[in-house]
Structure 1
Amino acid sequence: GIVRSIGASIRDLFSFNMNMFLERLEVLLYLKNDPYDIYDELIHFSKQEKLEWYFMFQLSNYSVHSKNISYNKINYHALIKSMGDYGKIGLLPGFEALSKIKTLKLEKNRWEAIVNRPLEMCLSHFFDINLPDLYNNFDKLEIKEDFSMAFVDVPGFRAGTCSSFLFYDINFERISPLVIHPPAVNSYAFEDYSYFEMKKTLENLKNNVKQVNGTLSVVFKNSDFKDSQKDGKILDLIKMINENE
């Protein structure tokens, strides 16, 4: 939006972040492609490597914690629907939706109005999940799959397993129909890793998962592919993960 773009540009100027200011200006003037619009590249890569992507989109109200693209943008709607042709799509609940079922239901309704089919999967990119409340809310809203069971800043299996399982609510001693898919790592955990460290960590995870016939999934964000030099390394890592799977 124009207000947020102007505000961010002023912030860049006052903080003397001229590279970011100039990049933003070039994108707004259509002199440069949006560095966060990485979907065509990922689709091309996935066709080459026969990868299965899960694309998650946020549709929250703007707030201190949730600063996604406006859920009213027509181009954003078109992107969400188009990604359904190349992989499975789901919802990134906003920060407020993690604790309030009313907000979660609102975002779910927005998603379903855009896609015209029931929402089946979610991922909390905050990884700040309040158990069992969040999973019970997913269950009440008939959301079938979750990918949030990951550590924030270290690689490894937060659930203690690399295989999908049904959520068990110990408070009511009942098995929920909600399926938990535990990621091996999210990209936040690699913020301070070198490329060599990332590669060795993922190789170890892959070997361990392979021994028990589990599933190795990794959560990435748009900004992981923003830098072209870093982008190539990330794609190489993804290719390595996918080999002989």
Structure 2
Amino acid sequence: MNELLIYVPKMTNRVRYVFRLVMKGLLKIKYELTNDLDAFQSADQPKMMYGWKAHTDDIFFKANGLLFERGVHSLEYNAFDYKGNKAFFQVFDEESVVPFDIFSAIFFLVSRYEEYLPFVRDQHGRFAASLSMSSEWEILEKPVVNIWALEIKEIILKRYPDFVFPEKKFRFIPTYDIDSAWAFSQKGWLRNIGGFYKSLEMFQFKDVALRARVLLGKERDPFDTYDLQLSYQKKYNLHPIYFILFGMYGRYDKNINFRNGKFRRLVKWIADYAEVGIHPSYNTVNNPKLLKEEIKNLEDLLKTQITRSRQHFLRLNLPDTYQNLIENDIQDDYTMGYAALPGFRAGICDTYNFYDLELDVETKLRLHPFAVMDGTLRDYLQLTPGDAIDRIKKIMDEVKKVKGTFISLWHNESLSDAKRWKGWRRVYEALLEEATA
């Protein structure tokens, strides 16, 4: 019988969520949860226990209590070295097959528990990568949730060698944020005059000449890399997702006015070749009404429902941001990652459902964590193109080991191969080659 019976002493939303994530989501197996000890003991099938004590000699995972609680509290992490990485929520029970509460550790990471605790926000109101336990414990670039899921698989196979686990395959999803569709074109005379003045003030005469050539139609706008993106799509058989900043101009929102005809034609052209989602503007994180308007404006243009989203500047306040997205019928969000460091913000490299710790319920909103972003590598870490390629390959190798999903976040401007992005086109091409090899 290829179904795993799991005994837990108490049924909670957290218990149901984490076992559904691990068993169904990551390991792709059938399972059944029960809190009926007599039925568990008499069952003749593969089985395991999770709880306070081992009632039988079956596989036993010791619990620390987090999955049986409600609310958010300060926690004792008890981090320690385990098989080359840090683990936490250490338990002391010789009958436990692992020396830590592996299911609570998974829940802590994927629910982003630490982001519900008090913290000092960065200049954009975000939870900074440097504050994360994963960064402190140097496991941010390891998809430890996937690694631990595979350890659970091996433990089950050791006891039940005939248990069948479906094979997973590595997946790659390229994504693009269109924050500024063009560098100079379609920005209006006022913004371009300001641009000329700023360049002259800083003695950037080459920029002045380039802007003039673009505006006179004598040269392609440097941010106009859409034909190149389409060529990548065809060459590597990609299925990219675009997130369009479709709001009004502001201090942190520099895209073309969403009413601009050429910009609207560009968005419709992109939608002919790829999936399109909303890139909610900077202030939508505190303005649900504005979020609703931007989604509606994009839907009106494309004549289709918009169900995908990624926050501009990765501004994410838990759980409010996700609650607002859910209220606007967003089904998939791609914000889960850090601006300042690459890696796995939630410790996982597969899609999963958002768990709302405020309401203590699993939601239907699917989260798609990204692993690397061009701006992280170039602007925050200030890597050379060669070092960036090495860093990307190292992280992607970790995803390939666990047969997870590698999601990249790139921008049209970083493919320009000009100015500060000189040499970075080959970084992206190396990423594509490695991901599709």
Q: Do they superpose with TM above 0.5?
A: yes
Asked if 1:28 is matched to 2:215, the reply is: yes
Give the aligned partner of residue 193 of structure 1: 383
Question: What are the superposed Cα offsets for residues 19-39 of structure 1, whole Å, 9 maximum, x if unpaired?
Answer: 111111110000100110111
Taking the aligned partners of 2:364 and 2:402, their CA distance within structure 1 comes to: 24
Taking the aligned partners of 2:324 and 2:429, their CA distance within structure 1 comes to: 37
Taking the aligned partners of 1:171 and 1:232, their CA distance within structure 2 comes to: 42
Written as runs of structure 1 = structure 2, the 5 A alignment for 1:88-237 is 88-191=275-378, 192-227=382-417, 230-237=423-430
Q: 1:232 to 1:64 in 2, by over 3 A?
A: closer
Identity of aligned residues (%): 27
- 1:17: Cα distance to partner? 1.3
Residue identity opposite 1:9 in structure 2: F
Taking the aligned partners of 1:106 and 1:87, their CA distance within structure 2 comes to: 23
Taking the aligned partners of 2:430 and 2:275, their CA distance within structure 1 comes to: 21
Asked if 1:17 is matched to 2:207, the reply is: no
Taking the aligned partners of 1:158 and 1:212, their CA distance within structure 2 comes to: 17
Gaps of 5+ in 2: 1-187
Taking the aligned partners of 1:125 and 1:96, their CA distance within structure 2 comes to: 9
Runs of 4+ in structure 1 off by over 6 angstroms are: none
* Aligned 8 A contact 2:242 2:275 in 1: yes
Question: What are the superposed Cα offsets for residues 91-118 of structure 1, whole Å, 9 maximum, x if unpaired?
Answer: 1111011221001001111111111111
* Aligned 8 A contact 1:51 1:242 in 2: no
Aligned with residue 270 of structure 2, among 69, 83, 93: 83
- 1:243: Cα distance to partner? 2.4
Taking the aligned partners of 1:106 and 1:8, their CA distance within structure 2 comes to: 29
Taking the aligned partners of 2:405 and 2:249, their CA distance within structure 1 comes to: 35
Q: 1:188 to 1:231 in 2, by over 3 A?
A: closer
Taking the aligned partners of 1:65 and 1:236, their CA distance within structure 2 comes to: 28
SS of residue matched to 1:104:
helix
* Aligned 8 A contact 1:224 1:234 in 2: no
- 1:232: Cα distance to partner? 3.7
- 1:241: Cα distance to partner? 3.1
* Aligned 8 A contact 2:282 2:312 in 1: no
SS of residue matched to 2:301:
helix
* Aligned 8 A contact 2:386 2:427 in 1: no
Residue identity opposite 1:233 in structure 2: R
Question: Higher RCO, 1 or 2 (CA under 8 Å, sep at least 6)?
Answer: 2
- 1:234: Cα distance to partner? 2.7
SS of residue matched to 1:216:
strand
Task: Calculate the aligned-residue CA RMSD, in Å.
Answer: 1.3
Taking the aligned partners of 1:236 and 1:82, their CA distance within structure 2 comes to: 23
Gaps of 5+ in 1: none
Question: What are the superposed Cα offsets for residues 193-241 of structure 1, whole Å, 9 maximum, x if unpaired?
Answer: 1122112211111111112121001101122111265254134223233
* Aligned 8 A contact 2:389 2:431 in 1: no
**Across the two proteins, how many residue pairs are aligned to each other?**
244
Q: Bigger shift: 193-202 or 19-28?
A: 193-202
Higher-Rg member (1/2)? 2
Taking the aligned partners of 1:26 and 1:54, their CA distance within structure 2 comes to: 31
For normalisation by structure 2, the TM-score amounts to 0.54
- 1:128: Cα distance to partner? 2.3
Question: What are the superposed Cα offsets for residues 33-88 of structure 1, whole Å, 9 maximum, x if unpaired?
Answer: 01101111110121011112111111111111212111111111111111112111
